[in-house]
Amino acid sequence: MASPVKPAVSVRGLHKAFGARTVLDGIDLEVEPGEFVALLGRSGCGKSTLLRILAGLDREVGGEVEVPGTVSIAFQQPRLLPWRKVWRNISLGLHKPDGRAVALKALEEVRLTDHADAWPLTLSGGEAQRVSLARALVREPDLLLLDEPFGALDALTRLAMHHLVEDLWTRHKPAVLLVTHDVDEALLLADRILVLDEGRVVATHHVGLPRPRRRASVVEQRTRVLADLGVDVEEAA
């Protein structure tokens, strides 16, 4: 009999404090292989802290954290090395003999092949973020962590990025944990939305809408998610 597939993320009773300040206070979280989960919550509620822990960048924690597969993380700022050409930013640390070919293939996926030999400082914000995505994908992650990757982009570029991420996810099917402030972004992309507050998961929404999704189709669920974030839509209108 085949053994059951391990979750991409398995967290039990995760606790994290900085000095006397508790930031994560008993988080339980499972993410299935290939599942797309969005994480919403106020600024400072511990979203980035959770992602850093899942990426193995912070191991001083209480509780159990299991992330069995390969992990890649992309941040709000693309964090490219300005003294390396685009393709070298992608192949950096891969230690593969055909680094350029691998980088070019990843650039093709984010539709940036023609920028392979460009310097990072010559890229637009959206292009730099696409390089950052290519760099994350080239490691063929089982778990892709995205920490507000579109937060600094204009609305139109954001929209294009949503399509790109959905497309990449459909083709590679990593588990994804996406941190965002944008409820529509979460509803358009995720299978499941978690709301984090005071160091705990206070609400879970299963989105369950057919894909590809359009803005109009998420309106109804938006009201309920906003309510969990403490926003009364009727009142705000």
Positions that interact with ligand ADP (CB under 6 A): 18, 23, 41, 43-49
CB of 160 to ligand ADP, least distance (A): 25
Nearer to ligand ADP, 23 or 159 (CB): 23
Stretch of 44-52, 115-123, 183-191, 209-217 lying at the interface with Mg ion (CB under 5 A): 44-52
Which residues are registered as beta bridge partners of 205? Answer: 193
| CA separation for the pair 110, 71 (Å, rounded) | 19
Q: Does 48 bind Mg ion (CB under 5 A)?
A: yes
Q: Which of Mg ion, ligand ADP, none interacts with 174 (beta carbon under 5 to 8 A by kind)?
A: none
Q: Which of Mg ion, ligand ADP, none interacts with 49 (beta carbon under 5 to 8 A by kind)?
A: ligand ADP
Stretch of 48-56, 65-73, 121-129, 156-164 lying at the interface with Mg ion (CB under 5 A): 48-56
CB of 152 to ligand ADP, least distance (A): 14
Q: Which of Mg ion, ligand ADP, none interacts with 43 (beta carbon under 5 to 8 A by kind)?
A: ligand ADP
210-216 long-range contacts, CB within 8 A, separation 24+: 211/166, 212/166, 213/187, 213/188, 215/184, 215/188
Backbone angles phi, psi at 64, to 5 degrees: -110, 135
Nearer to Mg ion, 47 or 115 (CB): 47
Q: Which of Mg ion, ligand ADP, none interacts with 3 (beta carbon under 5 to 8 A by kind)?
A: none
In the complex, residue closest to Mg ion by CB? 48
CA contacts within 13 A on the Cβ side of 186:
28
Q: Which of Mg ion, ligand ADP, none interacts with 46 (beta carbon under 5 to 8 A by kind)?
A: ligand ADP
| CA separation for the pair 185, 162 (Å, rounded) | 7
Beta pairing, strands 71-74 & 175-179: unpaired
Instruction: Kindly list the residues in this chain that would bind Mg ion in the complex (CB under 5 A).
Output: 47-48
